Structure 1
Amino acid sequence: MTYIHRSLERKFLKMSHAFKVVMVTGARQVGKSTMLKHLAQDSGRTYVSMDDGDVRELANRDPKLFFQMYQPPVLIDEVQKAPALFEQIKILCDESEERGRFWLTGSQSKKLMKQAGDSLAGRIGILKMYSLSAKELEGRPDDIPDSYSLSSLLQRKKALPDNNILDVYSRIWEGGMPDMISMDAEIRREYWNSYIDAYLMRDAVDDNGILDTEGFRKFLRACAAFSGELVNYNDLGSAAGVSGSTAKEWAKVLQTMGIIFLLEPYYNNELKRMIKTPKLYFCDTGLCAFLSSWTSRDTLLNGAASGHYLENYVVSEMLRNSSYGEKKVNLNFYRDTNQKEIDLVLEMDGQLHPFEIKRAASPDPKAIRAFSLLAKSGKEIGSGGIICMAAKPFPINADNNLIPVNLL
């Protein structure tokens, strides 16, 4: 299979020049190992995987001997399976000023983050990887926009075809797992079944001590059904046959595993009467669609939930942009106790950029009326608009535009 360049490569290599240890975490099968092995080609860096039982046993029994056999610079795959290595990595870091000596991958878990943070504080940079973005799948450069002005959007449009709803919903339904590229619908179903059984359920039991696997499986499906909505733990728990408090704990587990993320509402001291309940989204829309039994792109496109899936897709693409980019970016949404809402608020360089997300090609310009509520925040309001199925960028007013989904 041809290697697909990842937007995270730039930041990873930069951090490898700054930190002695760099670790890439993320959900299972998103491409962590593939990226690091690609970057390590022709570098003389040793590769070792903790999936090998004999190697793993040595690493946990005798870390000193392990590093005599696998000397830095080294790439250690699935490091969460050999927690005894962290203390020895710390010792080796303190013996040398060399940067980038240790490249690590780890499937995301609370235990792994605690082990790495406790042992390697000040020595390690940690990055999170998601499944493939639309830009990565299309081979486009990592061109995260500095501006959402009309001139900037028109410039970006020059290199891209017109927006197309069929292409967008193909991306949404297929998701971005690297192993699933070019799979047909039948094999895709089997992949997701295997992914849930072999990874998600096993990690739920082994890493998080969840014994009610059937309840957890129902909870996973319930999260897919509630994707794009305000979190209600009682409703999620009821769907899975567990209490609201258990549902809250299980949601944290899925967050830690990199399966879902909770988008927090925007809040500052200048804004009153704001809600504080987050919204639930899936990191990969393909998994979400599978869990909700959407068997094809067209059934999803024509289904009642198609708007929710578009919103999930846009928010997850923006999440990737903000994670991989150079600038510090905060993503939130706005909702007050009067039910006034803005789907997405991006804070960058001291400005707030508001966005609505609509499935229409010609959405009603009135959809941006709530944007004015951000003026009370005390922050400067930057360009924004309606992210939609418009073929090309088009101005709504001086500050806001129709933004084709494929320009993200």
Structure 2
Amino acid sequence: MPGHIPPKIYPRKIASQIEKALKIPEIIVIHGARQTGKTTLLDILMEKLRQKHESKNIVYFDLEDFELLELCDKGVPSTIEHLKAIGCDFQKKIFLFIDEIQYLQNPSSFLKYFFDHWKGKIKLVVSGSSSFAIKSKFKDSLVGRTMDFELFGLDFEEFLSFKELSFDLATKDELVVNKLKKLFQEFIFYGSYPRIILEKSLEIKEALLKQIINTYLRKDIKDLANITDINKFNKLLRVLAGQSGKLLNVLELANTVGIARPTLDNYLAILESTYVIKIINPFFRNLRAELTKMPKVYFEDLGIKTILEKGGFARKLEGDNLETAVFSLLRKKFNAEGIHFWRTAQKEEIDFVVENRNHILVYEVKINCRNKDRLLLNKFKKLYPKAKTHLVGFGFVDKQKIKELNFIYPWQL
């Protein structure tokens, strides 16, 4: 429960970024899927603040508490009266943390009023489990008043930190590389939810992931999308899990699942905004020679993907799961809008093309890499000479690697 830090809190990279934003007046808005650690992140931020500010001026509201939700829905004046009643010192700065902000009837008006009347006196940090619900309730009136952050599942460095391990990820030491291979497979098999990584029992890991699917994923999305035929929606989730890393033919998918195209479009939009899937578009400059329209779909979490697809955890490393894991790491490192794939009219395909500022970073993913895998990368580089190409894999099959080939392990992205 916020207000009391448990004995062991593992750091998240995003915490230091948000900590810097605590010094400016804008409202901090933290988006993210359920169970990715938003409440723990708020705990970390509040504990940092307690080192410099009085505890009575650091307040936490969980809007899953009906009484607190009712209080905030009454408006800002009622909330201010409550802060005074619980002993906040209005002569000093107050930090108000509000979890599950999307439950408010009109969060935009509430936050705008707070910012316009109490800027510099009360700093707001709010979080929500559904960017769909937040975006549908947040209005343009908040432009210039908020700073947004996205909290995802763990990346591989955070995964190692949670397991209390530390390695030089750039090392070529064979013993360490072999250990990292085993750990990265574990990262692929079980996903990136903090609670799942900390749990040692495979049986409980699986039960917890199934609980996330049933209690949160299906419940939240069912409520958001007003789903009437839950069986078809469940079928959609299973089909999408099997298509992670593949081209998304929306018309074909609608026919497979047995739902209308507009309904499917709505479901896909909600699955994206609740951090279940991410749809990426092709990279192109040549309208005739390169694919320009049909996107690809990826699952955000591999544990969720494999449970939906297979009913249990994967037992061996498969190419589509490695590719999805690489996407997951790129997603946490780069702006999602800059992540693409490349496909030619001849159906040649490169897994990821990342536009990052003025740079083009290219990644082709294979479990076992060979020298011949450079050919398509070379073709891309001839078309786009400034691109930096990478071959990402678990091992190199050929005895000697061509010098020009930039091979990296997935944890070296």
- Deviation of the 1:329 alpha carbon: 8.3
Aligned partner of 1:338 among 346, 350, 367: 346
Task: Check the 8 A contact 1:157/1:407 in 2, yes or no.
Answer: no
> Which residue identity is paired with 2:331?
L
Q: Which residue of 1 aligns with 2:356?
A: 348
In 2: Cα distance, 1:272 partner to 1:46 partner: 57
1:129-157 per-residue CA deviation (whole Å, 9 max, x = no partner) reads 111121111129xxxxxxxxxxxxx9832
> Which residue identity is paired with 1:403?
I
Aligned partner of 1:407 among 396, 403, 412: 412
Aligned partner of 1:196 among 203, 207, 213: 213
- Deviation of the 1:32 alpha carbon: 1.1
1:151-186 per-residue CA deviation (whole Å, 9 max, x = no partner) reads xxx983279931544322211111111222224232
Say if 2:120 is the partner of 1:98.
yes
1:4-403 to 2 correspondences below 5 Å: 4-41=10-47, 42=50, 43=53, 44=55, 45-70=58-83, 72-98=94-120, 101-139=123-161, 156-157=170-171, 161-163=176-178, 164-180=180-196, 181-268=198-285, 272-293=289-310, 295-298=312-315, 300-301=316-317, 306-323=318-335, 330-360=338-368, 363-375=369-381, 380-382=386-388, 384-390=389-395, 400-403=405-408
In 2: Cα distance, 1:99 partner to 1:376 partner: 57
Distance 1:269 1:124, change over 3 A: farther
Task: Check the 8 A contact 2:225/2:266 in 1, yes or no.
Answer: no
> Which residue identity is paired with 2:37?
G
Task: Check the 8 A contact 1:131/1:176 in 2, yes or no.
Answer: yes
Which 5+ residue runs of structure 1 have no aligned equivalent? Answer: 141-153
In 2: Cα distance, 1:32 partner to 1:183 partner: 22
Task: Check the 8 A contact 2:59/2:97 in 1, yes or no.
Answer: yes
Distance 1:235 1:167, change over 3 A: farther
Provide the identity percentage. Answer: 24
Task: Check the 8 A contact 1:23/1:124 in 2, yes or no.
Answer: yes
Please, what is the CA RMSD of the aligned residues? 2.9
Distance 1:271 1:354, change over 3 A: farther
- Deviation of the 1:370 alpha carbon: 2.0
- Deviation of the 1:80 alpha carbon: 0.6
- Deviation of the 1:92 alpha carbon: 2.6
**TM superposition score normalised by structure 1:** 0.85
In 2: Cα distance, 1:40 partner to 1:264 partner: 39
1:345-389 per-residue CA deviation (whole Å, 9 max, x = no partner) reads 1223412121110011xx12221222244346666222x321101
Distance 1:84 1:253, change over 3 A: closer
1:197-243 per-residue CA deviation (whole Å, 9 max, x = no partner) reads 22122212322222221211111111101111000223433443323
> Which residue identity is paired with 2:394?
M
In 1: Cα distance, 2:145 partner to 2:400 partner: 47
Which 5+ residue runs of structure 2 have no aligned equivalent? Answer: 1-5, 89-93, 163-167
> Which residue identity is paired with 2:110?
Q
Distance 1:61 1:98, change over 3 A: closer
Task: Check the 8 A contact 2:32/2:150 in 1, yes or no.
Answer: yes
> Which residue identity is paired with 1:237?
A
1:231-286 per-residue CA deviation (whole Å, 9 max, x = no partner) reads 02234334433234432321111001110001211123688433321111111101
If asked which structure has higher relative contact order (CA below 8 Å, sep 6+), I would say 1
